[in-house]
Amino acid sequence: MIEVDRAGRSFTVGRGSARRTVHAVRDLSFTVGAGEFVGYLGPNGAGKSTTIKMLTGVLAPTSGRLRVAGLDPTRRRTALARRIGVVFGQRTTLWWDLPLKDSFQLIRYLYKVDRIDFRRRLDELAGLLDLGSFMDTPVRQLSLGQRMRGDVTAALLHDPAVLVLDEPTIGLDVVSKAAMRDFLRRLNAERGTTVLLTTHDLGDIEKLCRRVMLIDHGRLGFDGTLDELRATGPDGDSLEEVVARLYTGSAPGTPAPP
Amino acid sequence: MVRTYLLLAWTWLRASAQYPVSLAMMVLGSFAVNALDVAAIWIIFQHTGSLGGFGLAEVMFLYGTADMSFALADTLFGNVDRLSHHIRSGSFDTMLIRPASAFVQMATDRFSVHRFGRLAQSAVVLGIALPRLGLPWERTWMVPLMIACGVVIFAAIFTLGGALQFLLTDAPEVANAFTYGGSALTQYPLSVYGEQLVRGVTFVVPLAFVNWQPALYVLDRPDPLGLPYWLRFAAPLAALLLALAAALAWRAGIRRYRSTGS
Amino acid sequence: MEDVFLLYARIAAYGFRRHSAYRAAALAGAFTNSVFGILRAYVLIALWQARPGLAGYDVTDAVTFCFLSQAFIGPMQVFGGGLQLAGRVRSGDVAVDLLRPASLQLWSLADDLGRAAYLFLLRSLPPTFLGAALFGIVVPAGPAAWAAFAASFTLGVLVSFALRYLTALSCFWIVDDQGVQSLSLVLTLFLSGMVLPLNLFPGWFGELTRTLPWAAMVQVPADVYLGKRDVLEALAFQISWAAALLALGALATRAARRKVVVQGG
């Protein structure tokens, strides 16, 4: 479903003599099969967002190639957009001043979703995510938890094969977080939607992901199952301690152990 | 494209109608601010009978045609000049993950009727100026054509101004010099400006074709610079070329954006 | 007393520094102001060629006026805004500002003067020099004339601040501030001399516009620069309006504070 082959992305920053090239992602390779639920971990500035932007066609890679749902993201941006759903936890993809239900209607037209399919899917999602009470509220007046549920619904109305989530539980309270996780697990299990999830919340990873990838300094530092990840540290260490050791253990420039 | 445009515009229009008082204020405000330009012309003609060789009704005709073109272009595509705002806030990224043209999404963002204030204002001016000119019937066909070409030229300039912001994300105001500056320039007969400037807006940034060259035909006046007669009919060509350049610039901008990111 | 002065001097310095983060935007503004200066200068030249000596100006005076008015846009925020206060009133954050043990009005003024000083450097000088290079402009003769202009310009900024402060505070009582802003923009553009020099305005209306506070922003400092007006009389005119509007602002601040205390914002 997702194929990344030796993808790299560098930026030129600064001006004049201070000009230099920063490699946000270098030589990144991985594949994600249909129906997988993959956690994508990494410290701040490790290259997670850059990877997500490349996968969704917002950024073009400077080297290597990517395929998402069989398409080259930068060349076939609009075709890809119909097959994937994207949620940015830090900002909404909904229309700020529009009531939630109008945002959904717009998405129906933009993604050319059949009216009957749309009705059915919206009813289903509204039920699962409990949207009923704020469907008529403009997005800017929604609480963070409500907005996030709206954003997830918006990303799923066109029934995408791949769902990319960038920190979907950031800032949510305990109850909202549990509800969101429960929903995502069912989505993956029942519909077989492929999910790629970036997060700083290891609870998300423990509850949801069978497979974990860890990126640091733009390189893939670990790729394996949750149990394998735990096994990299001494017995009795919490997941948090294991991950913290992996983050600090990989010095810049030196490739982390596979 | 057109369908997506209408759909997005209609949705925004409905959203803005939720605040009718605010909307009315904005329409009135836009009407009044632009009426100041007409007031300026009127005051100037309190002191002189002709400006650059043109009388009050003729200047009002030039003003009305330019402003109507500008108002239409601004209503339809003016929002493109908010690009740097969208890039900085990250909302441009969210436009790129939707299956629709980023240009259409930009142009329709927060589409609201408040810009109609300016349109109404230019219509009033034209409505007063046209009958006073007593134009011969065989020349009036040019009036709607020149307004249409003016819309295309201004829309292209808005687009170029937007494309420029892919480069100058921190300085979107530069685009104002060309968009609003172009509008200010075409409100007066080009005969008041220096020769170099007029040649520049004829052959480089073709603002002279918004109204000046076609108006020389409509008003049957000689070109003060003695430029070829056929230029009076060249507005569609100029509009086409500029629109082409704008489309290319926008595409180049999007490509560049994808290869820089933020 | 000295401490208070130091506090506001520091706030002004912060205002200056905060705006220096927007250097590109300021330079872009200077570019736009310069382009408009050139376009408007040609229109005025055409008018003064038809009517030499109109309104007591010669062509060079008129061109100078035109570039000065463009140079004033940045420091005097002729198109409105410039105060963070307006946003803070709308969001309700102003309640915190009002409860600080410092005058909200003086605080805002100090900040605004810092902003004006920065924009003077980046947005006033370029259009003026460009106008001088392309068309030639009047230059005041001698240090006394420069000092008079400096005083008049500063008073212009002060009047501009006082008006914008009142506009921003009006959001306390008027829910839909869009209308107030539009109205204030139209009045400022037209009555300051920004659209055309006020001495071109005909009859009683022209006379009225020359007595209103907006005239203290563009028309009066430009006339002082051109040496077209008695300096003491001009400064007295600006000082009276600045004092009256600042006093009104102080009253409005007090009313706003009472409203915050009683209604909790």
Q: For every residue of A95-117, which 3-state class applies, written as one string?
A: CCCCEHHHHHHHHHHHCCCCHHH
pLDDT tier, A106 (very low <50, low <70, confident <90, very high otherwise): confident
Quick one: pLDDT at residue B162?
A: 94
Contact assignment for B171 to C25 by CB distance below 8 Å: yes
Contact assignment for A81 to B93 by CB distance below 8 Å: no
ipTM of this predicted complex?
Answer: 0.92
Quick one: pLDDT at residue B51?
A: 95
pLDDT tier, C192 (very low <50, low <70, confident <90, very high otherwise): very high
Contact assignment for C32 to B173 by CB distance below 8 Å: yes
User: Which residues 6+ apart lie within 8 Å of C73 measured at CB?
Assistant: C29, C33, C79, C123, C194
Residue at A66 is within a domain:
yes
Residue at A105 is within a domain:
no
Contact assignment for B44 to C200 by CB distance below 8 Å: yes
Closest-CA residue of C relative to B38 is C195
Closest-CA residue of B relative to A49 is B262
Q: What is the CATH number of the domain that holds A55?
A: 3.40.50.300
| pLDDT of A71 higher than 70 | yes
Contact assignment for A91 to B90 by CB distance below 8 Å: yes
% residues pLDDT > 90 (chain B): 68
B90 CB near a chain A CB, below 8 Å? Answer: yes
Residue at A70 is within a domain:
yes
Q: Do A162 and A68 contact (CB within 8 A), yes or no?
A: yes
Contact assignment for C185 to B33 by CB distance below 8 Å: yes
Quick one: pLDDT at residue B260?
A: 66
Closest-CA residue of B relative to C32 is B177
| pLDDT of C75 higher than 90 | yes
Chains touching chain A, criterion 3+ CB pairs below 8 Å? B
The residue segments making up the domain with residue A168 are 2-83+160-249
Terminal CA-CA length for chain B: 28
| pLDDT of C50 higher than 80 | yes
% residues pLDDT > 70 (chain C): 98
Helix (H, G, I), strand (E, B) or coil at B22: helix
Mutation site, A53, A80, A90, interface B, largest B CB count within 10 A: A53
Measured in angstroms, the CA of B123 and the nearest CA of chain A are apart by 31
Per the structure block, which two tokens stand in for C89? 């009133």
Sole residue written with tokens 């807006």: B201
| Residues of chain B numbered 136-195 and touching chain C (CB < 8 Å) | 168, 170-174, 176-177, 180-181, 184-185, 188, 192-194
| pLDDT of A130 higher than 90 | no
Number of domains in chain A: 1
pLDDT tier, A254 (very low <50, low <70, confident <90, very high otherwise): very low
Task: Give the closest of B29, B40, B184 to C196, CB-based.
Answer: B40
Residue at A106 is within a domain:
no
Chains touching chain B, criterion 3+ CB pairs below 8 Å? A, C
Name chain A contacts of B11, Cβ cutoff 8 Å: 95, 98, 102, 105-106
Conformation bin of residue A43: beta by default, left when phi > 0, alpha when psi is -120 to 50? beta
| pLDDT of B261 higher than 60 | no
Q: Which residue has the higher pLDDT, A248 or B2?
A: B2
pLDDT in tens, A18-69: 777 888 888 899 999 999 999 998 888 788 888 999 999 888 888 899 999 9
pLDDT tier, B255 (very low <50, low <70, confident <90, very high otherwise): confident
The 10 Å Cβ neighbour count of residue C143 is 8
% residues pLDDT > 90 (chain A): 28
Name chain B contacts of A53, Cβ cutoff 8 Å: 93, 261
Do the chains A and C touch each other, judged by at least 3 C-beta pairs below 8 angstroms?
Answer: no
A48 CB near a chain B CB, below 8 Å? Answer: no
Task: Give the closest of B89, B99, B259 to A111, CB-based.
Answer: B99
Q: What is the 3-state secondary structure (H, E, C) of C40-103?
A: HHHHHHHHHHHCCCHHHCCHHHHHHHHHHHHHHHHHHCCCCCCCHHHHHHHHCCHHHHHCCCCC
Residue at A135 is within a domain:
no
Closest-CA residue of A relative to B257 is A59
Give the range among A190-194, B94-98, C94-98 with minimum mean pLDDT.
C94-98
pLDDT tier, B124 (very low <50, low <70, confident <90, very high otherwise): very high
Task: Give the closest of B16, B100, B258 to A60, CB-based.
Answer: B258
Contact assignment for C179 to B172 by CB distance below 8 Å: no
What's the rounded Cα separation, in Å, for the pair A11 and C5? 47
B47 CB near a chain C CB, below 8 Å? Answer: yes
Contact assignment for B11 to A11 by CB distance below 8 Å: no
Indicate the average pLDDT of chain B.
Answer: 91
Residue at A134 is within a domain:
no
Contact assignment for B173 to C31 by CB distance below 8 Å: yes
Residue at A142 is within a domain:
no
Return the number of CB contacts < 8 Å for A and B: 74
CA A13 remoteness from chain centre: 26
A68, amino acid identity: V
Residue at A62 is within a domain:
yes
